[in-house]
Amino acid sequence: MIFRRYAVYYTPPPGPLAEFGAAWLGWDIARGRAVPQAPADLAALPRLTETPRRYGFHATIKPPFALAAGTEPGALGTAVEALARTLPPARAAGLRLSRIGAFLALVPEGDNTAIDALAAAVVTGLDTFRAPPSEADLARRRAAGLSPVEEANLMRWGYPYVLDAFRFHMTLSGALADAEAAEVEHVLRPRLAGVLPRPFVIGDITLAGEDAEGRFHELSRHALSG
């Protein structure tokens, strides 16, 4: 399969959290296939999860990028593996459900310092593989309104929300009105009971690729062993 963009994600290892995320979004990134969504009695679920579905259940570590001229996927995979061997696992106290703007996500509890450092190392350490953003990409990012820091990140790293503007999150919905968000939270909380890990440990990172239809697939997992 040919992939048009690549990204480095955190994706949960096989287990309850990964199973929850795949079923909630309707896309299993590890197996690269659609799966039935649950709960089936939430009729609006396909619409509410349409935006995050194509990315799969994940947290972005290095945002999606096209390969730079002169680079190739095999070399990227080798570089991700080599970098992962230099980085230690990152942890926080746990995960919790939160609203970020208009959407719902899982975010870390407690001290995020180690997770932020991991993301910064991956963003900077693999930057030679990233093609510069197109003018259309720049315009699309700027349309949301960027702070000076975010604008500087966009120009240097190809994405606004990295380094000092980074916030680890695992997206569970598209944009929701307040009443809709409250309803979805009510459905989510019991489904998350017993699923959210404590502590939350990132023990590996995932190289993912975007197919021609815009869906992301897990290509390889790399243990953090530094």
* CATH assignment of the domain containing 106: 3.90.1140.10
Most confident of 37-41, 95-99, 174-178: 95-99
pLDDT given at position 173: 96
Q: Which domain holds residue 167?
A: 5-223
Q: How far is CA 11 from the centre of its chain?
A: 8
Q: Which two tokens stand for residue 39?
A: 């709960």
Q: How many residues does the chain have?
A: 226
Task: Name the burial class of residue 152, with classes exposed (0-12), middle (13-18) and buried (19+) by CB atoms within 10 angstroms of its CB.
Answer: middle
The CB-side HSE value for 20 (13 A sphere, CA atoms) comes to: 20
Q: Is the pLDDT of residue 89 over 90?
A: yes
Question: What does pTM read for this prediction?
Answer: 0.95
Contact 197, 18 (CB under 8 A): no
Closest CA to 223 of 199, 200, 206: 206
Q: Is the pLDDT of residue 40 over 70?
A: no
Residue 76 φ then ψ, to 5°: -60, -45
Mean pLDDT of all residues in 101-111: 95
pLDDT given at position 38: 85
pLDDT digits (tens, 9 = 90+) for 185-218: 999 999 999 899 999 999 999 999 999 999 999 9
Amino acid at site 162: V
Split at pLDDT 50, 70, 90, the class of 44 is confident
pLDDT digits (tens, 9 = 90+) for 166-189: 999 999 999 999 888 999 999 999
The total number of structural domains in the chain stands at 1
